[in-house]
């Protein structure tokens, strides 16, 4: 079976969507007018080329030109560009979406549609696909990370005639990619075991916050906000024009308000005929009129840049927003009591839908009377548009009352897109009707998509955690106050999550940790009490477990000196400061669990996170082992029983590695150093299952530092001895160790592999408290002094007559394990350890790596250690050429479960995913391989689903929601009184 041609799907999807999501299209919005009248788009594509081929290898410009001629079809020639945008969205939406059981899902079969969107013959297709058909969902997995899909959902509903408010029930459900039978399996319940809560929001929630809340300015020359503003992190990536993101955010905040106000006024009055008249007659503000005219000029005239126009400053746009909100009694930010009329008694909309009625959808309102369903959704209460869409929401005091009759919450941003597209569609019969509104709306959509692409990491954005960190940082800077509440809402709606583990960073400040826990419990209580998140029907809320992670980072001490360290501390302690801080954080966790009654049922686990290459596992050894000790589980309160529930252990490891051997070593070090037991977990562990032949195709040459290389060799040497591998392999390995030692230390005399391994082991176990001070002629000197002199002597070949460099003085030097350990903390040798080593990944190396990988797979499997896989995250960050290369099937498959695995999401907003769709992705990958039947794959995924529930750190206690609320109140009060 041939691999899925990911590169072609990337090209096709990028070309198709470039008019709506590229910086080029935003900076040069009228490029289509010229290009769509050409048969050859090569000159245009030369400018777009760098943006389109980002993250892809060996993509020809000719290939893009061929696809452009196919995708930028002649039938759109005579349409205004804004009409083309709408047609394009309808086309894309109808290529993918389908309605099943009152919910939207992604159709995996590629079909063409007539104007009525009925299925038609493939003879009318744009292209002929020869050979095995590609599951259309693989293109969807690429597309959904390139643009915000709200505009596609809006286009789909309108194309199907689903234009009533009640039809928007589709907007509040998960966009399913699951097979029907798989969905039945997932309805039994899943658990989310690996999710960073800071990155678990929805993009719509982030965008709403960006459109409503003020952020720190970027021109501060000092202070804690320097370089940390969201505007400083949003970046211009290409040379053909610059976007001033700070200015643009405020501009589109203004346009968003004006577009929503116009839609309201148009419905209300019936007199206002178009947007221009609305600006002139209703808004009647000179500054706003000027801003709108200049935005329209930018859309029409590529020679003019709004961002570079100094006559319209950020302050001027902010002033315009202030004036319009004041004039029309609009409120940015949290709605205040008494701001809006509190008398409401009117007709509530009845259920109207072209969909099949869902049995689970209740109709709480009958005819006239006071509405009773009150919503306190955090996003609704902070969005200025909530007060504008009167047909959707009513605000009474501090309560937001939903005026539509279905279970679910339509957010104001979704209402804006829906109403704007309805308005455009209703006036589509008049080509020139309200071009001003169309131009501004689609310009708004483009900017939103550009921000989306900087928040959501796409498959061609670049590999590795360094790239990921940029996306993670940008989304985390858009802070949502009630982020736990938002996380539960975003992740659990339309999904049957029964256990919900959330991961957060831990501070070294106990007071800060206590306050964080209080905030989490307060928000979780709100979720429990509202049940359905305020939408009228109780939904079973999953059990919550908190997992604190220690943040990996480089050693802060850049100029180490073992001699100075001992003079100050009377002891050598490798990475002393970092280990001390991690241990301090662990003791805070242990102390709180021991002293706050019942907290151990909620604070359930620890982890390490962030860039794997920043810190070796041994930096966390003392912290993890403390949490395994009696001191960390001794019950110090009145609860029955002497000991607490043992905290769960996991570790981000084997996810990113320079050399595959480094990833495997880190996995082994984790399970040995942290005393891993059955049911402990590893996060990602890609090195454990990655196809080494495929990895070697991308990594024919590997560059690592000499210290890492030597550690790999020594770890491998001991592993082979333990496994009793043939002596020839060990002999060859020992020769490579000596080559590395000579490269680092300059000599191999008096060095043996056993002492080298003992020094490596000392570093891992932090048992290096040996003196680094020697007495020489009644004075203290560094014990490493002769070693550094010897290397200098060998490298520079000084005159033998120089008394300071007499060769005989070095003959009796013993390069012991203790001395090697000291060298690891010597600023002189650290420079040598940091030198580069180039490894050619040849055939023998590949075979050796395969053998080591198999040893580790067996070791993990025999110890019953669980691997937390995160499919979308792994495919985007990890070194996988195609979807089919994903590593899970090398660890577990319908045929054999070598290692226990679970499926999780990791960072949902960064990868725009949900847990159900992660299962669906694995299903599609396994079915594409063709090795198993659908039933075999679904039965296997059912086992993985059960794994997630069985191996969660959260304990099932069969408590009712009200009992959990009482426990949370009890814990909260203890925390409040603890400091």
User: pLDDT of 599-624, one tens digit each?
Assistant: 999 999 999 999 999 899 999 999 99
Q: Which residue reads 């979308």 in tokens?
A: 872
By three-state DSSP, how is residue 657 classified? coil
Are residues 130 and 179 in contact, defined by beta-carbon separation less than 8 angstroms?
no
* Domain end among 166, 192, 218: 192
By three-state DSSP, how is residue 300 classified? helix
Please say if the pLDDT value at position 532 is more than 70. no
**What number is the average pLDDT over the span 248-253?**
96
Question: Can you tell me the distance from the alpha carbon of 383 to that of 409, in angstroms, rounded to the nearest whole number?
Answer: 14
- Say how many domains are in the chain: 3
Q: Quickly count helices (H) and strands (E) in the chain.
A: 40, 20
Rounded to the nearest 10 degrees, the angle between the axes of helix 6-21 and helix 81-96 is 140
Residue 487 lies in a domain: no
pLDDT band at 517 (very low <50, low <70, confident <90, very high): very high
Question: Can you tell me the distance from the alpha carbon of 161 to that of 405, in angstroms, rounded to the nearest whole number?
Answer: 19
Q: Which residues, 6+ apart, have CB-to-CB distance to 157 below 8 Å?
A: 163, 167, 168, 170, 418
Q: Do both 825 and 882 map to the same domain?
A: no
Residue 337 lies in a domain: no
Question: Can you tell me the distance from the alpha carbon of 684 to that of 874, in angstroms, rounded to the nearest whole number?
Answer: 7
By three-state DSSP, how is residue 764 classified? helix
By three-state DSSP, how is residue 119 classified? strand
Are residues 485 and 379 in contact, defined by beta-carbon separation less than 8 angstroms?
no
Question: Can you tell me the distance from the alpha carbon of 253 to that of 451, in angstroms, rounded to the nearest whole number?
Answer: 13
Q: Helical H runs in 746-808?
A: 753-765, 785-796
Residue 513 lies in a domain: yes
Chain centre distance of CA 675: 29
- Strands lying side by side in the sheet with 866-869: 652-653, 681-684, 866-869, 900-903
Question: Can you tell me the distance from the alpha carbon of 159 to that of 428, in angstroms, rounded to the nearest whole number?
Answer: 12
Residue 86 φ/ψ, nearest 5 degrees:
-65, -45
pLDDT band at 379 (very low <50, low <70, confident <90, very high): confident
DSSP state of 281: I
By three-state DSSP, how is residue 795 classified? helix
Question: Which residue, among 597, 627, 173, has the nearest Cα to 355 in the 3D structure?
Answer: 173
Question: Can you tell me the distance from the alpha carbon of 948 to that of 901, in angstroms, rounded to the nearest whole number?
Answer: 8
Label the pairing between strands 681-684 and 866-869. parallel
Q: What is the mean pLDDT of the chain?
A: 84
As a whole number of Å, the end-to-end CA separation of the chain is 62
pLDDT at 906: 96
Q: Do both 825 and 849 map to the same domain?
A: no
DSSP string, 196-233: BGGG-S-HHHHHHHHTTS----S--SSSTTTTTSHHHH
Q: Return the percentage of the chain with pLDDT > 70, whole number.
A: 82
Are residues 69 and 13 in contact, defined by beta-carbon separation less than 8 angstroms?
no
Over the stretch 711-726, which tens digit does the pLDDT of each residue have? 999 999 999 999 888 7
* Domain end among 160, 192, 224: 192
752-760: which pairs have CB atoms within 8 A and are 24 or more residues apart?
Answer: 753/714, 753/717, 755/815, 755/816, 755/817, 755/820, 756/710, 756/714, 756/817, 756/820, 757/714, 757/717, 757/718, 758/817, 759/817, 759/818, 759/820, 759/821, 759/824, 760/710, 760/711, 760/714, 760/715
Q: Which residues, 6+ apart, have CB-to-CB distance to 873 below 8 Å?
A: 684, 905, 906, 907, 910, 911
What's the token pair of residue 800?
């033998």
pLDDT at 64: 81
Question: Can you tell me the distance from the alpha carbon of 972 to that of 515, in angstroms, rounded to the nearest whole number?
Answer: 10
pLDDT at 938: 97
Over the stretch 838-852, which tens digit does the pLDDT of each residue have? 999 999 999 999 999
* SS3 per-residue string spanning 514-545: HHHHHHHHHHHHHHHHHCCCCCCCCCCCCEEE
Over the stretch 414-446, which tens digit does the pLDDT of each residue have? 999 999 999 999 887 666 667 899 999 999 999
pLDDT band at 360 (very low <50, low <70, confident <90, very high): very low
Q: Which residues, 6+ apart, have CB-to-CB distance to 124 below 8 Å?
A: 112
Residue 107 lies in a domain: yes
Number of Cβ within 10 Å of residue 566's Cβ equals 22
Are residues 465 and 611 in contact, defined by beta-carbon separation less than 8 angstroms?
yes
Question: Can you tell me the distance from the alpha carbon of 482 to that of 637, in angstroms, rounded to the nearest whole number?
Answer: 31
Q: Do both 664 and 620 map to the same domain?
A: yes
Question: Can you tell me the distance from the alpha carbon of 234 to that of 453, in angstroms, rounded to the nearest whole number?
Answer: 10
Q: Which residue reads 């394990």 in tokens?
A: 817
Q: Do both 764 and 748 map to the same domain?
A: yes
Which CATH number is 660's domain given? 3.20.20
pLDDT at 366: 28
66 exposure class (CB count in 10 Å sphere: 0-12, 13-18, 19+): middle
Question: Can you tell me the distance from the alpha carbon of 307 to that of 245, in angstroms, rounded to the nearest whole number?
Answer: 9
| Higher per-residue pLDDT: 744 or 218 | 744
pLDDT at 248: 95
pLDDT at 337: 32
Question: Which residue, among 953, 317, 367, has the nearest Cα to 602 in the 3D structure?
Answer: 953
Are residues 490 and 482 in contact, defined by beta-carbon separation less than 8 angstroms?
no
Q: Helical H runs in 596-726?
A: 621-628, 660-673, 686-689, 692-698, 706-722
What's the token pair of residue 1?
């079976």
**What number is the average pLDDT over the span 755-776?**
78
Q: Using only the alpha carbons of the chain, give its radius of gyration.
A: 31
Residue 367 lies in a domain: no
Q: Do both 796 and 854 map to the same domain?
A: no
755-758: which pairs have CB atoms within 8 A and are 24 or more residues apart?
Answer: 755/815, 755/816, 755/817, 755/820, 756/710, 756/714, 756/817, 756/820, 757/714, 757/717, 757/718, 758/817
Q: Do both 767 and 830 map to the same domain?
A: yes
Instruction: Read off the pTM.
Output: 0.90
Exposure string of 493-512, with b = 16+ CB inside 10 Å and e = fewer, is bebbbbbbbbbbebbeebee
Question: Can you tell me the distance from the alpha carbon of 346 to that of 938, in angstroms, rounded to the nearest whole number?
Answer: 49
Least confident of 165-169, 598-602, 966-970: 165-169
Number of Cβ within 10 Å of residue 646's Cβ equals 15
* Domain end among 807, 823, 838: 838
Please say if the pLDDT value at position 553 is more than 80. yes
CA pseudo-torsion sign 552, 553, 555, 556: negative
pLDDT at 130: 64
Over the stretch 793-819, which tens digit does the pLDDT of each residue have? 666 655 554 445 455 555 566 788 888
Least confident of 105-119, 661-675, 734-748, 924-938: 105-119
Q: Do both 100 and 123 map to the same domain?
A: yes
pLDDT at 827: 80
Over the stretch 98-122, which tens digit does the pLDDT of each residue have? 998 888 999 876 554 444 444 333 3
Q: Do both 906 and 802 map to the same domain?
A: no
Q: Do both 815 and 938 map to the same domain?
A: no
DSSP state of 627: H
pLDDT at 512: 97
Least confident of 128-137, 744-753, 945-954: 128-137
- Strands lying side by side in the sheet with 497-505: 190-192, 497-505, 543-551, 603-609, 648-649
Please say if the pLDDT value at position 494 is more than 50. yes
**What number is the average pLDDT over the span 651-671?**
96
Q: Which residues, 6+ apart, have CB-to-CB distance to 834 below 8 Å?
A: 705, 706, 707
What's the number of CA atoms in the CB half-sphere (13 Å) around residue 320?
Answer: 27
Over the stretch 934-955, which tens digit does the pLDDT of each residue have? 999 999 999 999 999 999 999 9
Q: How many residues does the chain have?
A: 979
Q: Which residues are paired to 649 by β-bridges?
A: 606
pLDDT at 419: 96
470 exposure class (CB count in 10 Å sphere: 0-12, 13-18, 19+): middle
88 exposure class (CB count in 10 Å sphere: 0-12, 13-18, 19+): buried
Are residues 14 and 59 in contact, defined by beta-carbon separation less than 8 angstroms?
no
Residue 392 lies in a domain: no
Q: Do both 827 and 848 map to the same domain?
A: no
Residue 467 lies in a domain: no
Q: Do both 508 and 633 map to the same domain?
A: yes
Are residues 9 and 938 in contact, defined by beta-carbon separation less than 8 angstroms?
no
Structural domain harbouring 666: 497-700+842-950
pLDDT band at 476 (very low <50, low <70, confident <90, very high): very high
Residue 644 lies in a domain: yes
Q: Do both 137 and 186 map to the same domain?
A: yes
pLDDT at 895: 95
CA dihedral defined by 252, 254, 259, 265, rounded to 10 degrees? Answer: 170
């Amino acid at each position: 079976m041939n691999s899925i041609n990911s590169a072609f799907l990337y090209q096709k999807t990028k070309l198709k969507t470039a008019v709506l999501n590229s910086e080029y299209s935003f900076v040069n919005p009228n490029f289509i007018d010229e290009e769509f009248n050409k048969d050859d788009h090569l000159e245009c594509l030369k400018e777009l080329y760098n943006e389109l081929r980002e993250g892809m290898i060996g993509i020809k410009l000719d290939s893009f030109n061929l696809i452009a001629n196919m995708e930028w079809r002649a039938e759109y020639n005579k349409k205004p560009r804004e009409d083309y945008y709408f047609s394009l969205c309808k086309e894309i939406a109808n290529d993918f979406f389908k309605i099943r059981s009152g919910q939207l899902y992604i159709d995996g079969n590629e079909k063409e549609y007539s104007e009525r969107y009925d299925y038609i013959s493939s003879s009318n297709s744009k292209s002929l696909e020869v050979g095995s058909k590609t599951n259309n969902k693989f293109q969807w997995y690429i597309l959904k990370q390139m643009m915000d899909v709200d505009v596609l959902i809006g286009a789909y509903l309108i194309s199907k005639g689903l234009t009533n408010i009640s039809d928007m029930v589709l907007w509040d459900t998960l966009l399913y990619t699951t097979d029907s039978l798989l969905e039945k399996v997932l309805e039994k319940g899943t658990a989310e075991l690996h999710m960073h809560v800071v990155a678990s929001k929805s993009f719509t929630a982030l965008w709403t916050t960006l459109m409503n809340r003020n952020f720190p300015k970027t021109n501060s020359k000092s202070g804690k906000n320097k370089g940390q503003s969201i505007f400083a992190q949003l970046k211009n990536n290409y040379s053909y024009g610059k976007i001033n993101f700070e200015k643009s955010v405020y501009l589109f905040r203004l346009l968003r308000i004006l577009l929503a106000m116009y839609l309201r006024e148009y419905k209300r009055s019936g007199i206002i005929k178009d947007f221009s008249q609305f600006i002139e007659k209703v808004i009647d503000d000179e500054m706003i009129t000027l801003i709108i005219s200049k935005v329209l000029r930018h859309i029409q005239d590529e020679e003019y840049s709004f961002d570079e126009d100094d006559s319209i400053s950020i302050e001027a746009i902010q002033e315009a927003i202030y004036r319009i909100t004041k004039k029309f009694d609009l409120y940015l930010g949290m709605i205040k009591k008494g701001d809006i009329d509190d008398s409401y008694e009117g007709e509530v909309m009845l259920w109207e839908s072209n969909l099949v009625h869902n049995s689970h959808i209740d109709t709480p309102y009958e005819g006239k009377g006071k509405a009773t369903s009150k919503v306190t959704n955090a996003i609704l209460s902070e969005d200025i548009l909530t007060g504008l869409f009167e047909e959707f929401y009513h605000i009474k005091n501090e309560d937001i009352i939903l005026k539509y009759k279905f279970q679910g919450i339509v957010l104001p941003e979704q209402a804006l897109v829906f109403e704007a597209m309805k308005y455009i569609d209703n006036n589509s019969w008049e080509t020139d009707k309200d071009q001003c509104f169309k131009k501004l709306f689609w310009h708004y959509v483009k900017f939103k998509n550009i921000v989306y692409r900087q928040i959501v990491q796409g498959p061609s954005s670049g590999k590795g955690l360094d790239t990921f960190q940029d996306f993670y940082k940008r989304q985390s800077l858009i802070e949502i106050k009630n982020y736990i509440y938002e996380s539960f809402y975003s992740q659990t709606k339309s999904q049957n999550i029964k256990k919900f583990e959330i991961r957060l960073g831990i501070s070294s400040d106990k007071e800060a940790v206590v306050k964080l826990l209080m905030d989490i419990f307060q928000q979780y209580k709100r979720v429990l009490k509202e049940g359905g998140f305020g939408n009228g029907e109780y939904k079973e809320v999953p059990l919550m477990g908190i997992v604190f992670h220690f943040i990996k980072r480089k050693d802060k001490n850049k100029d180490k000196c073992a001699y100075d360290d001992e003079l100050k501390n009377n002891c050598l302690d490798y990475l002393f400061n970092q280990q001390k801080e991690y241990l301090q954080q662990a003791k805070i966790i242990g102390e709180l669990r021991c002293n706050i009654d019942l907290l151990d049922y909620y604070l359930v686990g620890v982890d390490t996170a962030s860039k794997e290459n920043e810190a070796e596992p041994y930096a966390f050894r003392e912290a993890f082992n403390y949490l395994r000790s009696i001191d960390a589980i001794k019950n110090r309160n009145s609860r029955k029983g002497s000991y607490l529930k043992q905290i769960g252990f996991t570790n981000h490891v084997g996810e990113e590695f320079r050399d595959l051997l480094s990833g495997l070593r880190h996995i082994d070090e984790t399970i040995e150093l942290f005393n891993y037991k059955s049911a402990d977990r590893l996060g990602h562990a890609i090195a454990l299952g990655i196809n080494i032949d495929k990895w070697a195709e991308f990594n024919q040459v590997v560059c690592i530092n000499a210290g890492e290389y030597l550690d790999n060799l020594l770890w491998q040497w001991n592993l082979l001895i333990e496994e009793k591998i043939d002596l020839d392999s060990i002999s060859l390995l020992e020769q490579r160790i000596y080559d590395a030692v000579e490269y680092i230390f300059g000599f191999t005399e008096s060095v043996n592999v056993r002492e080298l391994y003992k020094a490596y082991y000392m570093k891992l176990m932090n048992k290096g408290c040996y003196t680094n001070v020697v007495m020489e002629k009644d004075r203290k000197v560094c014990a490493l002094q002769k070693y550094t002199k010897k290397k200098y002597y060998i490298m520079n070949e000084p005159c033998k007559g120089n008394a300071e460099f007499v060769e005989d003085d070095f003959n009796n030097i013993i390069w012991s394990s203790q001395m090697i350990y000291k060298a690891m903390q010597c600023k002189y040798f650290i420079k040598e350890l940091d030198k580069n080593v180039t490894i050619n990944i040849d055939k023998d190396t590949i075979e050796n790596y395969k053998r080591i990988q198999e040893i580790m797979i067996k070791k993990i499997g025999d110890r019953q250690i669980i691997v937390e896989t995160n499919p979308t995250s792994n495919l985007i960050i990890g070194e996988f050429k195609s979807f089919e290369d994903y590593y899970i099937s090398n660890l577990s498959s319908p045929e054999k479960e070598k290692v226990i695995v679970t499926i999780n999401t990791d960072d949902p907003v960064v990868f725009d995913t949900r847990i159900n769709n992660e299962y669906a992705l694995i299903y599609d990958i396994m079915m594409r391989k063709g090795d198993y039947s659908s039933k075999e794959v679904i039965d296997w995924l059912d086992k993985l689903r059960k794994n997630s529930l069985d191996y969660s750190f959260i304990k099932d206690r069969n408590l009712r929601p009200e009992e959990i609320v009482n426990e949370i109140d009890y814990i909260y009060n203890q925390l409040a009184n603890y400091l």
